[in-house]
Structure 1
Amino acid sequence: LTLVLLINLTFANNSFADSRKIPIKEISVFKDGHVFVLHEGSLSTNGNGDVLVDYLPNPILGTFWPYSADTNAKLIGVSTGHKKVAVERTALTIQALIAANIGAEVLVTEKSISGNMPSERYIATILAIPTRSSEEIALTSIPNSPEQLSTKAGIVLLKTTNGTKVLSIDQIQDITFKNSFNPKLTEEEFRNQMTLRLDWGKQKSAQAAKVGLVYIQKGIRWIPSYRISLDGNGNAVVKLQATLLNELADLEDVNANLIIGVPTFAFKGTIDPIALQQTAAQLSQYFGNDTGRLNNIRSNSVYIDGLDSNDISRQQIVGSQAIDSSTQARGENLGPDIPNAGQTEDLFVFKLKNISLKKGERMVFTLAEQTLKYKDVYIVDLPFSPPSELSGNINSQQQLELIRLMRTPKATHKIRINNSGNHPFTTAPALIIRDDAVLAEGMLTYTAIGASTDLEITKAIN
């Protein structure tokens, strides 16, 4: 009797993994890629009344805060480490099927040593695969050696009519089970695991406990962009669109808060030791520090012609009167250890519900749309003279060129938008459209409610 095994991995048992995950309930996303994450859920407890979690975040130092939401259990501590766990998986090799069916009766077919010799076949009972246990390895290792997994031999012990046969598993061509068999194999492996230690007081621990985690780490960001449609009569339809990038974890029906503002995380370059890692996880280029003008969008900073975007790290607020770019101060990158660096405006939050997004996916959606007033303005810069320090460092031809440029100033056509809406503008690319035709794309800067800002359309060429 030969049994044919058809293994369907789609229906693999995932109860082990699901029982040790705390679902994400809410995220608060900053434009620089940092995200405040809240996990909460009911997980099964072990024999000690503690909760085991396989997921370990990479939080910023000082931002990891676990808690117990169970009124009967108090959280007394959290520990993380490389723990040995038993995991059941579908057996995919002959060796795995043999290990999963110790004691089964099988028909063994050995590989032929010579092409002219027929394969040897016989009935046998699987006795064991010789194994060195973790305990045995620990006893024979030097003190303080790291824990190791059990080591299985490449041989199998078979009970035959002639006695116990020791056979190399590589020598087995196939096996035929005489009766039903177990297609699953439970094996040990190391995993980074978190243990939430709970105190149940004088009562017996429950089978499950409601626990949660909050922390800040890099892994989800949102990128804003604007579409400004002009009607030519002083009305502009301003639409804000958000692109959400998820490289942290699967999100399912979570509440998402998209935040306008500049966060200050003094230890954003330091991973909390609870993560058991020395460096943060590798993310895509959209989360790096060398993405050109995207740095302006992340930090709500103003782009000034002629300045590298990395030099402008702080938010520059546009007040009640529009400020021309030539008069704006250059922001300094003071680093994360300077209190309130770049914190020149209050945070504004767009609240979204029921967001589902798998890790590695992106999502684009409209956040807001409003009709605002605008007017056309034409600005001409009239420089008085170059700095006196410059004259000694340029030749006569360059001096003549400077004089020529000062005598032929160029006018810049801009639109001045009054933000009379219910949320501030954030620093983002802005596509300007009129009569279904594209006029320009510029950078809309942070503008508080009630303030005005200028957005360049074009420069006169003669």
Structure 2
Amino acid sequence: MKKRTYLLTALLLINCAIYSQSNLSMKKISLFKNSTCLVSKEGQLKVKDGSLTLPIPASALYGTFWIGSAKENSLKSIVFKTDTLKTSTTAKYIDQVIRANIGSDAILVIKSGEKNEKNISGKILSYIPESGLVKVKEENGKITFINYEKIEYLTFSSDNSKFMNDSITRTAKLNFEKSAENASLMEYYLQLGMNWIPSYFLKITNDKEARLEMKATIENYAEDINDVEAEVVVGAPQLYYGQMLDPVTYNYITQASSTYSTLSYIDNNMLSNSLAQVQTASPYGGNASDESYYSASYTTEGEKNNDLYYYNLGKNSLPKNSKGIFPVFASTLGYKDIYKAEITDKVNYASNMYCNTNEDNCDVYHSIELKNSTNFPFTTACVMVLTEKGQFMAQDQLKYTPTGAVSVIKLSKAIDVVMKNSEEEITRVDNYKKIGKTTYNKVTIRGTITVENLQPKQVAIDVIKHVNGSVTNNGDSKVKKQKTYNSVNPYSDMNWTVALNSGEKKTLTYEYEVLFAPYQY
């Protein structure tokens, strides 16, 4: 007969599974990016004496827990209370193994000194948890009590590692109008403990196209998911009561003030300690080359509903206290390289009343402009960018991009595009204007921007210069002026698009006026 031996130091740690009197099957989950999830359950359960008992989700949010029955046998009432249910638990420790095998024949190896061992064969009659004593009827008929801490090995003729334990939990007793044998039920609740995190992988394929792939990392710290329809949601639904729990989840009275809006925030740190990592199989297939792994396109069925977009991931499984990665889509998109530089008002004459004439270096950033030509929006998330050869280029944020719109991803500083900016005061008029009780002087400042392309290709650079003043000579730029409430000078932005061939250098000039009060204390 096959024996089963338990080595105490190598027992596998397995989570407990609670089986209540009845439980509905999970049918669908809708995950949001704020650590909440809408769960829907459905099924037909047996009714005894016109009622049945269901477990209640521990973290259902305020006002979102609903149970409905079929019209053939409607609900009369639901009573919520804290109850004790029998729990089928997988043994983790030696005392639990003993409890799981009461009434079984066993061979017990007992520690006797540092090197000596003693074997006892017989039937386990009972276990006394208060003292840790195991009552064994030996083969010779004698009754022996053994401290379980002295047991080094246990050998059984069959594998039985399950034992019944008492579990304190919140339950719902459903009372029906009719005393039927079965009841068809549907359950909805929005709960904490499930989250999804999007991320993107952008791989350049040529000078005009790039392949964008999106994955969803799902974190499950609420309950087991077994072959359930799953969807991840793009958008920000209103959650007026935040993370406030529904009154049915706790066994104390709800204060009146608790029914008003709460400003509490959902803490993602509570989801940080994963016990397992799960990744689904790659949808692209292929052999060993990078080309075959990251070339195919695929889509996930989606649906726009008002201001939210739902990506349908199909049926998936994910145990409690684990994380999983699920592919969402991959598509080839058009892009173009763009170069951009924003130059601040380095003088700010109205405040400093001094013009720094030094020629300062200005950073030019290389970015790509990606057009969303898909039928679904891009949600805000991290994006990693690689070259055609698989070399790292950047990690940036891809912002929400609806269908047909463009998004800009910053790659790096363009070190081969050199830009410098200098300014000088060219005229001054004292006592130029009196506004209220303050007399202002006026200065005119001339600025110069030089741009040189040292790259082996042509580039187009978007240059923006910010000044606190009124532009009088825009130097062929587009000027945008914005009034300010705490200054007599407006904010002005000058914008040029500069096309440069390889090795070409251009100079931009501009002038602006600034009013300033000469005596400021």
Match of 1:377 among 325, 330, 338: 338
Contact 2:82/2:170 (CA < 8 Å) preserved in 1?
A: yes
1:219 is the counterpart of 2:194: yes
Residue 38 of structure 1 corresponds to 40
Structure ranking higher in helix proportion: 1
Change (3 A) 1:386 1:30: farther
Contact 2:194/2:218 (CA < 8 Å) preserved in 1?
A: no
Which amino acid in the other structure matches residue 229 of structure 1?
Answer: I
Secondary structure at 2:248's aligned position in 1?
A: helix
Change (3 A) 1:254 1:277: farther
Following superposition, the deviation at residue 350 of structure 1 comes to: 0.6
1:431 is the counterpart of 2:384: yes
Following superposition, the deviation at residue 433 of structure 1 comes to: 2.6
Change (3 A) 1:273 1:376: same
Q: CA RMSD in A?
A: 5.3
Match of 2:397 among 420, 443, 449: 443
1:420 is the counterpart of 2:394: no
1:263 is the counterpart of 2:237: yes
Instruction: Provide the rounded CA distance (Å) in 2 between the counterparts of 1:94 and 1:224.
Output: 43
Q: Which runs of 5+ in 2 are unaligned?
A: 111-124, 138-142, 152-159, 253-265, 275-305, 419-521
1:245 is the counterpart of 2:219: yes
Question: Deviation digits for residues 291-348 of structure 1, max 9, x if unmatched?
Answer: xxxxxxxxxxxxxxxxxxxxxxxxxxxxxxxxxxxxxxxxxxxxxxxxxxxxxx9221
Which amino acid in the other structure matches residue 387 of structure 2?
Answer: R
Change (3 A) 1:191 1:97: closer
Q: Which has the higher contact order (CA 8 A, sep 6+)?
A: 1
- 1:227-242 correspondence to structure 2 within 5 Å: 227-232=202-207, 234-242=208-216
Following superposition, the deviation at residue 455 of structure 1 comes to: 1.2
Following superposition, the deviation at residue 460 of structure 1 comes to: 2.7
Question: Deviation digits for residues 418-454 of structure 1, max 9, x if unmatched?
Answer: 2222111211122223322332222111111111121
Residue 472 of structure 2 corresponds to none
Question: Deviation digits for residues 149-171 of structure 1, max 9, x if unmatched?
Answer: x9999899x9xxxxxxx998879
Contact 2:38/2:188 (CA < 8 Å) preserved in 1?
A: no
Contact 2:31/2:232 (CA < 8 Å) preserved in 1?
A: yes
Question: Deviation digits for residues 77-106 of structure 1, max 9, x if unmatched?
Answer: 2413133658799997699779977xxxx9
Which amino acid in the other structure matches residue 367 of structure 2?
Answer: K
Instruction: Provide the rounded CA distance (Å) in 2 between the counterparts of 1:376 and 1:6.
Output: 66
Following superposition, the deviation at residue 267 of structure 1 comes to: 1.9
1:361 is the counterpart of 2:350: no
Residue 196 of structure 1 corresponds to 173
Instruction: Provide the rounded CA distance (Å) in 2 between the counterparts of 1:213 and 1:58.
Output: 13
Instruction: Provide the rounded CA distance (Å) in 2 between the counterparts of 1:366 and 1:262.
Output: 22
Select the structure of larger CA radius of gyration. 2
Residue 50 of structure 1 corresponds to 52
Residue 270 of structure 2 corresponds to 283
Secondary structure at 1:420's aligned position in 2?
A: coil
Structure ranking higher in strand proportion: 2
Question: Deviation digits for residues 47-81 of structure 1, max 9, x if unmatched?
Answer: 4422332x533022222222224732325224131
Question: Deviation digits for residues 338-375 of structure 1, max 9, x if unmatched?
Answer: xxxxxxx9221111211111123322232112222221
- TM-score after normalising by structure 2: 0.52
Change (3 A) 1:271 1:15: closer
Contact 1:241/1:368 (CA < 8 Å) preserved in 2?
A: yes
Instruction: Provide the rounded CA distance (Å) in 1 between the counterparts of 2:273 and 2:349.
Output: 43
Question: Deviation digits for residues 256-284 of structure 1, max 9, x if unmatched?
Answer: 11111123312223222322289999833
Change (3 A) 1:217 1:153: closer
Q: Which runs of 5+ in 1 are unaligned?
A: 112-125, 131-149, 159-165, 175-182, 288-344
Following superposition, the deviation at residue 214 of structure 1 comes to: 2.4
Which amino acid in the other structure matches residue 193 of structure 1?
Answer: R
Contact 2:383/2:398 (CA < 8 Å) preserved in 1?
A: yes
Instruction: Provide the rounded CA distance (Å) in 2 between the counterparts of 1:348 and 1:185.
Output: 44
Change (3 A) 1:71 1:386: farther
Which amino acid in the other structure matches residue 251 of structure 1?
Answer: I
Contact 1:44/1:209 (CA < 8 Å) preserved in 2?
A: no
Contact 2:25/2:42 (CA < 8 Å) preserved in 1?
A: yes
